[in-house]
Amino acid sequence: MRHKVILLLGLVVLSMHTLNTSAQDKYLFNHVAVGVEAGTTGFGVELSAPLTHYLTLRTGFTTMPQFSYDDDVRYTSHGNPEKVNVEGKLHMSDWKLLAELYPFRNKGFHLTAGFYVGKEEMITAENTEDIKGLEPNEGIEIGDYLVRPDQNGVARANLKVKSFKPYLGIGWGRSISEKHRLGMAFDMGVQFWGEPLVNAFSPDDNQWVKVHTTDTDVDDLNKALDTIAGIKVWPVLSLRLTYRIF
């Protein structure tokens, strides 16, 4: 992680130097563009403004449609194996602040650094049918943890990532076209969101408890959680359409 921080700081210092040596260009917020985007972070809207000819700031909001996935998982009721349907939902919405550095004056190639900020809770899961009347040592098995339903018969689990997600990437195309009102840009990079944590709500302790997932072939849900927990970065690919207001 240290080399990523050094790279980010280096880009910021280089950007500040560019701003200082190019002050005579008088580009500081002399244009504003609005944009829409689609990609692996979902759909988004943004505003862009230049600091110099070489440096542009972007801010906006992205959101992923709330996809859902359901599967049958096993649990034990009075010593007998049972199955219940569990539905998982994706929650992925972020505010972003990014800086684009254009090393070549008349080219669209750019380096991008910044961050995304959103909710920690990325995936939530709970059973769609009530589970009641279980013995104290019975519940839904997720990884190596027994998820107990609450008094309403609902067992809950979630997957959390860091709410602050640094971003590094490259791209082609200018967020603010100087020759035309309309512009297009393509970006690729990664969000660093740390190690995802799988949690289950314990009604006995009235708090969320971390679940240590294990490699098991019992349930598809367990295998999916184990796979997601190993993903520490999120790949970002996006296509943006921009319109210069002035």
Highest mean pLDDT among 125-134, 144-153, 237-246: 237-246
pLDDT at 42: 95
CATH, range 2-244:
2.40.160
- Does pTM top 0.85 for this prediction? no
Question: How many CB atoms lie under 10 A from the CB of residue 36?
Answer: 14
Assess contact for 176 and 137: CB atoms under 8 A.
Answer: no
DSSP 98: E
pLDDT digits (tens, 9 = 90+) for 48-78: 999 988 999 999 999 998 888 888 887 878 8
Mean pLDDT over 102-131 rounds to: 91
d(C-alpha 49, C-alpha 195), whole Å: 34
Query: Domains of the chain: which residue ranges?
Result: 2-244
Q: State the first-to-last Cα distance of the chain, in angstroms, to the nearest integer.
A: 40
The 10 Å CB-count burial string (b at 16+, else e) for 160-183 is: bbbeebbbbbebebbbbbeeeeeb
What pLDDT is recorded for position 211?
78
Cα-Cα-Cα-Cα torsion 12, 14, 18, 20, nearest 10 degrees, comes to: 70
- Alpha-carbon span 69 to 50, nearest angstrom: 42
Query: How many other C-beta atoms are found inside a 10 Å radius of the C-beta of residue 209?
Result: 14
What is the mean pLDDT of the segment spanning 93-112? 94
Determine the Cα–Cα distance for residues 234 and 41; give it in Å rounded to an integer: 9
